[in-house]
Amino acid sequence: MDNNKYDAIVVGAGAGGGVVAKQLAVGGMTVLLLERGGWPVYDEHINDELISQRTWVLGTAFGPDGEKNPRVIVRKDGSHEVIGPTDGWDYNHIAACVGSGTVSYGAMAWRFMPEDFKMRSTYGNVTGSTLEDWPLSYEELEPYYEMAEWEIGVAGDDTQNPFAPPRKKSHPMPPFEYNREANVLKKAAVRMGLHPFPIPMLRNSVPYNDRAACIRNRTCCGFACPVDGKNGTQNTTIPRAIQTGNCDLKTGCKVTEILLDDSDRAKGVRYFDVNDKGTEAYADVVVVAASAIESARLLLNSKSKLFPDGAGNNFDWVGRNLQGHAYTGAFGLFDYEILDYVGPGASLALCDYNHHNEGIIGGGLLANEFNRLPYLYTGIRPPGSRRWGKEHKDFQRFSYLKNSQVVGPIQEMPVFESRIQLDPAVKDHWGMPVPAMSGERHPLDHEHCKFLSARAEEILIEAGAVETWQSIGGRGGPSGGQHQMGTLRMGNDKKTSVVNKYGQVHEIDNLFIADGSVFVTGGGFNPVLTIMAIGYWVGDNIVNIWKGTGLKS
Amino acid sequence: MKNTGLTIGGSLILPACYYEPAPFRFFSREEADCLIAVCECIIPADDAPGATDAGVIYYIDKQVMGPFIKFQSIYREGLAALQKDCYKTMQYKFEDLPSDQQIKFLERMEGNHETLKSWNAFQPSQFFNMVINHTMQGFYGAPRHGGNKDYMSYRMIGIGYPQITGQNRYGKGDSNG
């Protein structure tokens, strides 16, 4: 691995890139894995709610650094506002560290359902949406889901879920036991004829892969794990990639451009190292896995004679169709402490409302919510409640452990005008134009949220809640958040997509994308296991092509 | 302070009064007295501690010298405007009002009441919303940031501290202040 020349360069060491790097390294390719953040350290922010990946009023626990990474949000009136990661949700940040969001996520491990790959065929055309089928089917991706489940580690048992997609092999670890809240909700859901089951989780229900079992820490979602019982790429595939001897991981490296030659090839990348020294590295293959906003930004900032508007962007699809998940659901107050406050909180789910509901396109899972820490809970009140004073304090004091939340991610309708572009004026610490995010959600998202919230409330009422209220999402935008997807769409037609079904950028044979960017649609599920599966899928395809012929220089 | 006495002609003369070190990093004593009273209305003490007991003022004072540096001017201008309007309409400093009158005044701020005339760059409700938010953070957030002394809000809620779920590693960063 001399002279900055590798067989492959992978940009981004998260859920997708961390897997691709390992597949390539094990497949015999030399790999440079570049990550803009550093290694996550639990002890720095421990269980501090105000500096976590769930509440970030004083900063994000695992990045990105706000000073160096401003973004621009384009408001409805066309004005451009510069924002940082601690300025609410508009920034749409994803952790910048080795493992990225997989260090601090809630770790739900969902396979998408077959319909999620065939949304257009299943539901038809949707006005105002670019709803489309994936060129890849569930059946094709199934073996790669299995790889993710077994190598990274998932605890679950979907035999109780009649809507679970077909699988060849069971989960490698038994499911977690229900917490107190889930036991109550389960009985109610069963009485209603629904089909609850334990949430599949990328956490160890038993010791696995030489790491400890989960200790049911109450600060799980939004935090790193103090005993390393939560599974991400930082403690599985990335160390394995490095162990092969084929993979160099360089942290603190900000990639600003994919170097393209005058024809149809990528040559390497330009990046700033941990000391902010500008440098270049070269490879036969470049894989971008920097998350939906940053991956699209990088392609837009990589221009050549053949691609004057950015790599893969000759048909103006790069950065389009930015999607996330509107969360929607209901709260229920009980007259006893329904929460036992055992981590992570989320324990039970049902998929009865993911597909085939009258008048609903897609839908979403429902689950009980991850533990809400005290500051986050100060914003949770029944409609019309006072926001301060004794009434607010009493509600905090007396309802905290009596309040159950049933909630889920709605499958959003992709919108062509929800997008990221390079901001014409604002540049980041390294002089790279920042992403400008604009657009709005499809109006159907809010309608679908109303449907799902009403179902959530029914369950809470049946479970015996003495007071319930809905919280209905799906308005505003652009969407994105920590589930950001869709900006480098996968498709067969180069005029209406950016990559082919193998993650290969149309017309640039040695440039691949392997993260949530390639999603055509986002499912009604947390996307991470599908991003990991895409990582295995794209990685294996690269190794096959590279070994066969084409890409070796 | 080390230098509390002066030696003159070989005899030690103790000063009649000594300087107390400034207790706050950003706020003046007057600003702090007013802000403490506002925070206490937001989370009042009863049989459980309130914002003052938990040291919310220390949280805000610490953060405006760090991550909240951008809020310095809104605090400075907002507290001045609040105090000015309070004196004009209620004839007392805010912190000297009885608590029912304080609450009434804050409700006027919440609704941008027409009698509040000292506000320019931002509205009274914007200022108050910010203080509500910061008070909640200081009361319910981690003690390492200056508030929530000894995790008193956690104990009030009944979730206790330290956690006993399988770990015992709270040495770093957990001390108050």
Give the pLDDT score at A9: 98
**Section A228-256 average pLDDT:** 98
**Among A429-433, A474-478, B125-129, whose mean pLDDT is lowest?**
A474-478
Which residue of chain A has the CA closest to B62? A58
8 Å CB contact between B61 and B26:
yes
Residue A362 counted as domain residue = yes
| DSSP state at residue A499 | B
Task: Return d(Cα B76, Cα B72) in angstroms, integer.
Answer: 6
Report the percent of chain A where pLDDT is more than 70: 99
Peptide bond into A64 cis (omega under 30): yes
Give the pLDDT score at A552: 73
Give the pLDDT score at B2: 40
Give the pLDDT score at B8: 45
Q: Do A401 and B159 touch (CB under 8 A)?
A: yes
Neighboring chain B residues of A343 at a CB cutoff of 8 Å: 165
B90 in contact with A, Cβ within 8 Å: no
A409-466 confidence digits (pLDDT tens): 999 999 999 999 999 999 999 999 999 999 999 999 999 999 999 999 999 999 999 9
Task: Return d(Cα A17, Cα A288) in angstroms, integer.
Answer: 7
Is residue B7 pLDDT above 90, yes or no? no
Give the pLDDT score at A89: 85
8 Å CB contact between A442 and A473:
no
- Give me the residues of B, 18-77, that contact A with CB < 8 A: 41-44, 46, 48, 50, 63, 66-67
Residue A383 counted as domain residue = yes
Is residue B154 pLDDT above 70, yes or no? yes
Is residue A550 pLDDT above 90, yes or no? no
Would you tell me the crossing angle of helices B99-110 and B124-140 to the nearest 10 degrees? 120
Structural domain count of chain A: 1
**pLDDT, averaged across chain A:** 96
Give the pLDDT score at B69: 96
pTM of the predicted structure, to 2 decimals: 0.94
Q: Do B165 and A57 touch (CB under 8 A)?
A: no
Task: Return d(Cα A301, Cα A77) in angstroms, integer.
Answer: 26
Give the pLDDT score at A86: 87
Would you tell me the crossing angle of helices B56-63 and B29-42 to the nearest 10 degrees? 120
The enclosing domain of A230 has a CATH number of: 3.50.50.60
C-beta neighbour count of B84 within 10 angstroms? 14
Is residue B175 pLDDT above 70, yes or no? no
* DSSP E strand stretches across A340-478: 348-350, 366-368, 403-411, 419-427, 433-438, 467-471
- Assign A88 a pLDDT band (cuts: 50, 70, 90): confident
* Domain span holding position A253: 5-548
B13-32 confidence digits (pLDDT tens): 555 555 555 589 999 999 99
Give the pLDDT score at B13: 52
Which residue of chain A has the CA closest to B104? A389
Alpha helices per DSSP H over A149-282:
180-191, 237-243
Give the pLDDT score at B16: 52
Give the pLDDT score at A187: 98
Residue A553 counted as domain residue = no
- Assign B176 a pLDDT band (cuts: 50, 70, 90): very low
B130 in contact with A, Cβ within 8 Å: no
| CA angle, A393 then A395 then A400, to 5° | 110
Give the pLDDT score at B3: 42
Alpha helices per DSSP H over A220-316:
237-243, 292-300
B141 in contact with A, Cβ within 8 Å: yes
Task: Work out the minimum CA distance from B44 to partner chain A, whole angstroms.
Answer: 6
Residue A515 counted as domain residue = yes
Nearest to A58 among B63, B132, B157 (CB): B63
Give the pLDDT score at A493: 98
